[in-house]
Chain A
Amino acid sequence: MRLIKLRETWILFVKEIKDVFQGPLIYILTGTFCLLIGWLFFNYLLGAGRLTSLNMTSAVIVPIFGNMNFMFLFLAPMLTMRLIAGEKKAHTIELLFISNLNHFQIIVAKFMASLCMVLFMLLFTVVFPVILHLSGYSDWGTVGSAYLGMILSIMCYLSVGMFTSSLTENQIVAAFTSFGILMGLMLLVVSVNATNNWMLGNIVQYLSIPVHYESFVRGAIRSYDFVYFFSFIGFFLWLTDRSLESRNW
């Protein structure tokens, strides 16, 4: 039974992947992303000049990963906007609802497919560490940790995008709502300065995504951040499930 469930989830996942790679959006987004991030990398590299390996991390790795993460704040909503809203608009969501797939399988298949899109886009950035390696850079632990942190951070964005996509059948509304929520979460850290309450400040800081992401970029992998990321993703995927379930309310 479990195998059948896995097979159905896999089938929906494969369908989603085919949908994405047969359309032009992923190539347009990947092209734009690579162009912008490549240009930024080139500039950081020029600025880094004759720096040592240690300084290379703070002069190139930290800002370039920061920029990539920031760009995905805009890209993730575009990648997720059609996931459920598109199905609602085309009335194909009914096909999924009356099939043997349950909400959890639908959500997992679509979430994993959107993660694959992100990994496809990030694949092209592997060229940056290779170029750094040619100039003598060897702090691979930091690079690995930065990639891990960024992927976790982007998974958070995708989970928010999935949720907003489940709220409407209008993809544009889904994308803007997702962007609004993500921007709000980003700016939470700014509001820490507005409070003198130590406890409140810490709570707000904990809720902000960049605070957890930054430690990964600096090479610090803490269980504390994993708990945050996985609870965040789990919470928004649960909200997506509730949103799909709301037709039964």
Chain B
Amino acid sequence: MIKIESLTKIWPGITALDKVSFEVRQGSIHGFLGPNGAGKSTTMNIITGLIPPTSGRVFIKNHDVCKERKSVLGLVGFLPEHAPLYDNMNVLEYLKFVASINMVPSREIKKNVDEIIHSCGLLKVFSRTIGNLSKGFRQRVALAQTLVHSPELVILDEPTVGLDPNSVIEIRNLIKSLAGGRTVLFSSHTLHEVDLLCDDITIIGNGRIMRSGNKKKIINDFQTGQVVVADVKKWNDAMATEVKLNMSVERVEYVRKNDHYVVKFFSGKDVDIRHQISKYLVECEADLLSLTEERPGLEDIFQKVTVDE
């Protein structure tokens, strides 16, 4: 759906984007991750044609955004970082206005706007002035304006920033409901959100792409080996040595926590030691309380990629 090739943007004295390249699959929800000032908004503004790149190209459905802007216009719905809302208009008026200036035929405007009001949960406030709405509802209206002309691609720049937890969940569900029919590219630095919503991710830092691709694959790439954590009542050094000698365990660490021990078993990559460990702990009567596998989260990867690299 989107193909970005060697995108570079240089502001006077600052290279905001340095040869950025990645792709967004059709029908996917693609998370665009990066710390503040990494170049997320700049990339999104270039994709939507709001600003031109210094060099490089962006294709949306094989149309070059810079050269064939007209072909791209109706395909994209964009929610910028600052919601573009007219505070003096009411919700219905505003959505009709946005639909009208986005090539929606007159006879379809009412139908589109009605549908969007329902799907974005704006039924309660459709006749209210936007300036009087809560931040959650304002963001919903802003999201509704990106969808009112039925675009195939929806680009959302930090759509949940500054919202209370309930509103965040509502907006997140709304984004989830877009999956399938539309391609969604959304930026965030809330990793939990990206983890919940996205199939694919791109991590950007200092204007350069750090990682891009399938979320599971990226997480897997960062997994150096399996870590199994067991809570047991009994544990000692002799047991640790026995485990290391008889199983595919490379290292064992343990600490005493209140009335039990927390034991960590480290194995090599592509080896599953859960079965061996659980069997051993039961057989040697270590009084097993719990057994879990520790996986690297997106937060670990994000930190590793954006800080370490």
Chain A residues with CB under 8 Å of chain B are: 4, 7-8, 11-12, 15, 19, 22-23, 90-101, 247-248
**Residue tally, chain B, CB below 8 Å to A:** 26
Q: Are A11 and B101 in contact (CB under 8 A)?
A: yes
Are A92 and B50 CB-contacts (below 8 A) given A11-B100, A99-B102? Answer: no
Q: Tell yes or no: B121 within 8 A of A by CB.
A: no
Q: Is the CB of A100 within 8 A of B50?
A: no
How many Å from the CB of B9 to the closest CB on chain A?
12
Q: How far apart are the CA atoms of A92 and B130 in the complex, in Å?
A: 13
Determine if B88 and A90 form an interchain contact, defined as CB atoms under 8 angstroms apart.
Answer: no
CB–CB B88/A99 < 8 A: no
Given contacts A19-B88, A22-B88, A23-B88, contact A94 B50 (CB under 8 A): yes
In terms of DSSP, what is the predominant structure of the interface of chain A? helix
A191 CB to nearest B CB, Å: 37
State the Cβ distance, A86 to closest chain B Cβ, in Å: 10
Which of A15, A98, A101 interacts with B78 by CB under 8 Å?
A98
Can you name the residue of chain A whose Cβ is closest to the Cβ of B155?
Answer: A98
Query: Which A residues are in CB contact (< 8 Å) with B74?
Result: 100
Task: Determine whether B73 belongs to the interface, using a CB cutoff of 8 Å to chain A.
Answer: yes
B51 touches A90 (CB 8 A): no
A-B contact list, 18 entries, CB within 8 Å? A11-B100, A11-B101, A15-B89, A19-B86, A23-B88, A90-B84, A90-B86, A90-B87, A91-B82, A91-B83, A94-B80, A95-B84, A97-B50, A98-B73, A99-B73, A99-B98, A101-B101, A248-B52
Give the distance to chain B from A87, nearest Cβ to Cβ, in Å. Answer: 9
Q: How far is the CA of A104 from the CA of B282 in the complex (A)?
A: 78
Instruction: State in angstroms the CA–CA spacing of A94 and B82 once bound together.
Output: 10
The answer to whether A98 touches B48 (Cβ under 8 A) is yes
Cα A99 to Cα B89 with chains together (Å): 18
**Besides A99-B98, A101-B101, A247-B51, 4 new A-B residue pairs in contact (Cβ under 8 A), listed by A number:** A92-B86, A97-B50, A98-B48, A248-B51
CB neighbours (8 Å) of B86 from chain A are 15, 19, 90, 92
Contact with A along B77-99 (1 / 0, CB 8 A): 01010111111110000000110
Q: Inside 8 A of A4's CB, which chain B residues have their CB?
A: 103
* Docked complex: B56-83 residues within 8 A CB-CB of A: 73-74, 76, 78, 80, 82-83
Report, nearest first, the 4 A-B pairs whose CB atoms are least far apart.
A95-B84, A91-B82, A99-B101, A11-B100
